[in-house]
Amino acid sequence: MAAFLVGGGITLAVVSAGGTPVASAVAGPVSSAQGSQLNTELSDAAGSSAVPAARVRWALGRIRRLGGVEGTATFHNKKGFHTLSFERGSIQSVSGSDVVIKSPDGTTWTWKIVSDTVVRKNGAKTTASALSAGETVFAGGPVVSGARDARLIIIKPAASAGTSGSESAQTSLS
């Protein structure tokens, strides 16, 4: 595994079980050790269909804490190529099993709600029916046959008038 500091962010290349790095980028201030640990977890989480969904969600949680607006990482291991995506933005629409999210830079992706999608609001697990247009969310999951499967969607709590900036920042990281 390798991590290279580039332009204030970190670019990560995942090499697993003799595989070759394909492409990946994650923005945000993160140490080389954190990047290496994240690479290991992402490789383990997406590299095997036997890996529990909870482990995939844990890896996506790590990406969420790194920051960044949206991204896709593709890597190769002995079982083949694997791609994970994440996006942070506001829900444009919810229709059936589709959630359309638009990030602050204007990128709009459609996410599929799948059987093992976990939706969290205020730190507690909830259902996909809690999703509504206008909410700020983080979504992440694997890209399967060109579609982004949402394995984790976290609804950001609405800012209250009495919350200070540091309290808001702390809430968004937990």
Q: What is the average pLDDT across 44-52?
A: 51
Cβ neighbours of residue 31 closer than 8 Å, sequence gap 6 or more: none
**More confident of the two residues 27 and 44:** 44
62 three-class SS: helix
Burial of 149 (C-beta count, 10 Å sphere; 0-12/13-18/19+): buried
* pLDDT reading at 2 higher than 60: no
Structural domain of 28: 2-78
User: Is residue 174 assigned to a domain?
Assistant: no
Choosing from 61, 78, 95, the residue where a domain stops is: 78
User: Is residue 167 assigned to a domain?
Assistant: no
User: Is residue 64 assigned to a domain?
Assistant: yes
User: Is residue 99 assigned to a domain?
Assistant: yes
Residue 27: DSSP 8-state: -
* Residue 119, token pair as written in the block: 């939706």
Cβ neighbours of residue 10 closer than 8 Å, sequence gap 6 or more: 3, 4, 26, 27, 28, 29, 30, 32, 35
**More confident of the two residues 66 and 50:** 66
The per-residue pLDDT for range 86-129, each reduced to its tens digit, is 999 999 999 999 999 999 999 999 999 999 999 999 889 999 99
How many domains are there within the chain?
2
User: Is residue 161 assigned to a domain?
Assistant: no
The per-residue pLDDT for range 150-164, each reduced to its tens digit, is 999 999 987 755 444
